[in-house]
Structure 1
């Protein structure tokens, strides 16, 4: 009991620091491009740069003149304001970003020095306080006065925050920056700076480095760079040498999967700058942290002795980014620091690997999983270690709970695909796994699995980098669905084994009951009971919107025909039909099983007046980008009212027998009846 009581607060503190570091990183990382631009301009145009230009570097006759050159104004105004805006937007969207930036101007002017820490305080504070203020009169503003109230409240509160920043925050942040700078100078003057690796290297493996790097080292490094033209602080954490040395040792002296994957990991780490790729190798043998600490200390000592540094942050920690940000007089020292850090880390790690016994082959997957659990989400590079990327089965930090099927509009193909996948997962015995559909534009990085059409995957990956991604080209019966079901099964087996075993016993005792339960579960997954389905069909799928013999002979003509049926019911305007064609040109709406579901783009939702679905059968089939289509379902939906119809259609088209019934139908009532009874 005592052990448990002590352990929980420690874990909670680590998670808290991780979240804080992630939040700080979220303000800095989107603006790294601006830091790089400033670093390049500084390296080129300052007095000691490669191409000194007084008007750009702000020196010579222009020195001391307000707002002269690019270097000074960028570092004093542009970068802090970008950070503040990003932080405020993270808390309260654009409105929070604007108010946070206004408040930060007070800190900047009050301090007179680059205020990165001040920006990281005022940005989120502005967003959070504005959100709280807006909640006071939410729903109480008279129609027509919303813009007036919103603009004036943001302006007034932003002005007050600017004064608070000027008189209250800037003195505190200035004092903190001065004290922290004095600590760094003390460490440098006494040769103690290399000792920081004792804390930094373990912190990296535990994903605590963002709080240190973006909360302290980057702001202090920027100030030091502005004063001295470079800073050693930018390389305390970003030096790729320690991790490279560790991976090289595994290449020569490792075993099994660890040895085989080390070369690829080394390339990703050293050239790509993704340091987390080597963390599982440390977790396999925690003693190896001594190798990275020794390498880090060696690199820092080399930088201190040679008086070398970078002009701006290196992010990611790639050797390419490091060299791009190296001060003109520091190339020898920086390169030597990386080489010596690599060498020392390699030697220490080699000794540990040769003198200790361990089963690398068995533990790499476990170590990767532990790394992702500490990170709190799936690693975007873990497949390089586990080989998951080659087969589409990703390594997850926990059980699959949340799956999203995404398309351009989140209205048609994604809803159909989600319905098919949802039923498969429920039939496999995992009814608690949530399967939803969404538009690409609305995705957030909080899903375990993201499924997209193969032409949309690259658009979805940047905003859902933590998820396992699956690309499909056939929405109705893609073989990737079986891979996803297997992923759900493997990731949830431990938690559901007892329940599944009990369900299996009951099913064996009563096969009929099991079949009925499965059918009921699938119906629930479709989101509607029989009665609701019937009502929904009368409202959304009407008899006048079903044609058994379409007249179109081409894809575009079929889209027009389906759109005209929606227009005839006053469900859409003319602009929506144009958007249906636009959507088809970007990504095909062919679903498989002779079915296509043309619908508008995400931006076309303003052209929808009410939810409706049209169904047209083409007995002879038409060519749909090289695929034969016999059924065209036009879709227009508001607030997901049409999703139960699409679920019904999806279930019909996953059954060859029911597709055959549709092909043989002789009346509209037969079609409506088939779709109406599918959820019974």
Structure 2
């Protein structure tokens, strides 16, 4: 099997992943409340260890009111701070009451029909409550986003002294509207959805088909798509069953995704019959996964050889079948998916079934995975001998799938022997074209490296197509990490998703500090950061591209460069675009109008954005063309468009869009200065307050280091 290539991300997968991440963000912070509720049921309900009728009265209100409200509060806060949290809580209260009203109406109708048949009222069984977990996950974003939109309508239009009055009444009135929306359409919608989902699950159980869910859940976990399934469907349904005496206040659904057995079996197979870094790191990863509950550590092992997903499915189906046959179930969600959390939430009388399901699922996964690894061992050894590092590529791909960095995943490389050995001397920031994102990212990282006292470490930028395997560390966007790994298999690879303020930059600095500490201790501390040596700079980078100027002469040179690269006519203070595509066109049209690029260059800017986002962080986006579009650039040019009210850039706020067309190196020094400006909040505020184009140009051309 070849090293994974960087195919364009599926937009459907990205949307499902983002949706699942948002749901997880609402549920995970409230897991302590779910654990507390699980302990409450463990001891005090009639079937608990120490039944207590008085204390048990807390069980119903907690799951029916408290848990949905705090989930809505959390979701609203994620979107729009405290205002979003408050109106989301009001809205979900309406959904709870509306659901109770609908259930009461339906119970009255059913009772009337029951009595009409001559049956006794005492024999009638009422429908139970619907707990508004899904309602909370619907009302939270609906409430918070709508509140934020309304606030923007009268932003900066309120007379001084009336702000608090308007803010309080607007939130209160809109909260009332949301309560009514929750009471009627949302309650009706969620009750209907829960009825459909419950019927589907009951049908699967009745027909002994529940194990088939592993065919969906196990691959979804490896691709980080499981959150949408787990938190969007399984957790709400499981909590509904756990709060219902008809299900003995427990649910098997909590074990469909959280069972740590399949992951343990896969890692044990690598520990015994794997090769290279994967074999070396598997024992430690098994402990982290099984005891720590961090399942993502086994995902790279599955991605190395996708056939291993069959082993995970087999183990998952075995665990579900065991629990179905023997009555294994939990009282509440087990999060994280640790064996300790699973045992803590295991329902009374179900310990044998749950433990056996974990053991059997691990065993089945181990046997299938070991057979697959043995069958391909000769091919894998040959690939390793040829210098192919599939494990490092799989770890990088896993981080790209996750959409952000992970200490647990990074630790796999360090623990498996793939970390860099010896001092780090050269770092390259790689992107698709090598003219914009990488130049600014390299500038930010270079400044941090030099500030840490490692002036002898070069930080340059290059296009991925121009990379060679001569660099110690390669930093690239998470969507490009697999391609960069192919070009530089011996380097340490770091994926970022925020070019201006990524926390991964500090991790790189720490890595340099650790690996270079011995050499740094022997050498005298420099009085000032040394400039980047010109002889080691990448072809795409100027001798001091993006470096902080050390003398006035350097600053003066930047002013001269900016005169030709950034013209006053290419600066717009009030952009008219309302979305990302419009902003790209507006910035691109300015580049065309400057006479520095052909009209077709704007289309290449759209193509670039489709493959990798040019959002930089700190209110900045820098759209630019693809590497193939460099032939359309007559000379380097930069345009600046400010959007005072901001625009949405893939879910991120952007107020400054800087279009870039880089033919040579003459734009790189200015980009370095722009990066320095956007690292300073006070300087960003000055740009926001600027009243003419000259002020913007001066801010970029006269940055003092």
TM-score for the superposition, normalised by structure 2: 0.60
Query: Is 1:308 aligned with 2:328?
Result: yes
Structure 2 distance, partners of 1:138, 1:426, is 47
For residue 54 of structure 1, give the secondary structure of its aligned residue in structure 2: coil
Structure 2 residue runs of 5 or longer lacking an equivalent are 1-6, 101-129, 432-436, 464-473, 476-495, 522-534, 560-679, 687-701
Question: Pick from 203, 213, 218: which aligns with 2:220?
Answer: 203
- The answer on whether the counterparts of 1:392 and 1:470 sit within 8 Å (CA) in structure 2 is no
Query: Is 1:99 aligned with 2:130?
Result: no
Please name the residue that 1:54 is paired with: 53
Please name the residue that 1:518 is paired with: 544
Shift of 1:420: 2.3
Query: Is 1:379 aligned with 2:379?
Result: no
- The answer on whether the counterparts of 1:372 and 1:396 sit within 8 Å (CA) in structure 2 is no
For residue 214 of structure 1, give the secondary structure of its aligned residue in structure 2: helix
Could you report, residue by residue, the CA deviation over 1:188-209 in whole angstroms, capped at 9, with x for unpaired residues? 0110000010111011111110
- The answer on whether the counterparts of 1:450 and 1:468 sit within 8 Å (CA) in structure 2 is no
- The answer on whether the counterparts of 1:21 and 1:209 sit within 8 Å (CA) in structure 2 is yes
Structure 1 distance, partners of 2:420, 2:159, is 53
Structure 1 distance, partners of 2:456, 2:13, is 35
Shift of 1:249: 1.0
Please name the residue that 1:265 is paired with: 285
Structure 2 distance, partners of 1:346, 1:23, is 33
Please name the residue that 2:451 is paired with: 420
Could you report, residue by residue, the CA deviation over 1:409-457 in whole angstroms, capped at 9, with x for unpaired residues? xxxxx999687269959963349999xxxxxxxxxx9657989xxxxxx
- The answer on whether the counterparts of 1:370 and 1:397 sit within 8 Å (CA) in structure 2 is no
Structure 2 distance, partners of 1:193, 1:396, is 49
Please name the residue that 1:84 is paired with: 72
Query: Is 1:183 aligned with 2:221?
Result: no
Change (3 A) 1:447 1:107: same
Shift of 1:50: 1.1
Which structure dedicates a bigger proportion of its chain to helix? 1
Query: Is 1:370 aligned with 2:391?
Result: no
Please name the residue that 2:147 is paired with: 130
Change (3 A) 1:520 1:217: closer
Query: Is 1:468 aligned with 2:507?
Result: yes
Please name the residue that 2:13 is paired with: 14
Change (3 A) 1:470 1:194: same
For residue 299 of structure 1, give the secondary structure of its aligned residue in structure 2: helix
Query: Is 1:500 aligned with 2:538?
Result: yes
For residue 243 of structure 2, give the secondary structure of its aligned residue in structure 1: helix
For residue 338 of structure 1, give the secondary structure of its aligned residue in structure 2: helix
- The answer on whether the counterparts of 2:443 and 2:545 sit within 8 Å (CA) in structure 1 is no
Shift of 1:363: 1.2
Please name the residue that 1:251 is paired with: 271
Question: Pick from 351, 359, 362: which aligns with 2:380?
Answer: 359
How is 1:549-628 mapped onto 2 (pairs within 5 angstroms)?
none
Structure 1 distance, partners of 2:48, 2:505, is 40
Please name the residue that 2:363 is paired with: 343
Please name the residue that 2:37 is paired with: 38
Please name the residue that 1:73 is paired with: 61
Query: Is 1:293 aligned with 2:313?
Result: yes
Structure 1 distance, partners of 2:404, 2:277, is 23
Please name the residue that 1:317 is paired with: 337
Change (3 A) 1:276 1:465: farther
Structure 2 distance, partners of 1:642, 1:282, is 44
Question: Pick from 229, 232, 235: which aligns with 1:212?
Answer: 229
Change (3 A) 1:347 1:82: same
Structure 1 distance, partners of 2:551, 2:71, is 43
Structure 2 distance, partners of 1:22, 1:284, is 24
Shift of 1:639: 5.8
Change (3 A) 1:465 1:323: farther
Structure 2 distance, partners of 1:311, 1:480, is 56
Change (3 A) 1:418 1:147: farther
Structure 2 distance, partners of 1:238, 1:212, is 12
For residue 327 of structure 1, give the secondary structure of its aligned residue in structure 2: coil
Change (3 A) 1:162 1:386: same
Change (3 A) 1:107 1:425: farther
TM-score for the superposition, normalised by structure 1: 0.62
Change (3 A) 1:521 1:338: closer
Change (3 A) 1:330 1:466: farther
Change (3 A) 1:298 1:389: closer
Change (3 A) 1:202 1:467: farther
RMSD over aligned Cα atoms: 4.4
For residue 538 of structure 2, give the secondary structure of its aligned residue in structure 1: helix
Change (3 A) 1:330 1:143: same
Shift of 1:349: 1.0
Question: Pick from 460, 463, 467: which aligns with 1:429?
Answer: 460
- The answer on whether the counterparts of 2:277 and 2:416 sit within 8 Å (CA) in structure 1 is no
Structure 2 distance, partners of 1:374, 1:420, is 32
Please name the residue that 1:150 is paired with: 167
Structure 2 distance, partners of 1:678, 1:158, is 47
How is 1:622-641 mapped onto 2 (pairs within 5 angstroms)?
640=682
For residue 308 of structure 1, give the secondary structure of its aligned residue in structure 2: coil
Change (3 A) 1:105 1:246: same
For residue 272 of structure 1, give the secondary structure of its aligned residue in structure 2: coil
Structure 2 distance, partners of 1:116, 1:191, is 27
Query: Is 1:174 aligned with 2:201?
Result: no
Structure 1 distance, partners of 2:23, 2:58, is 26
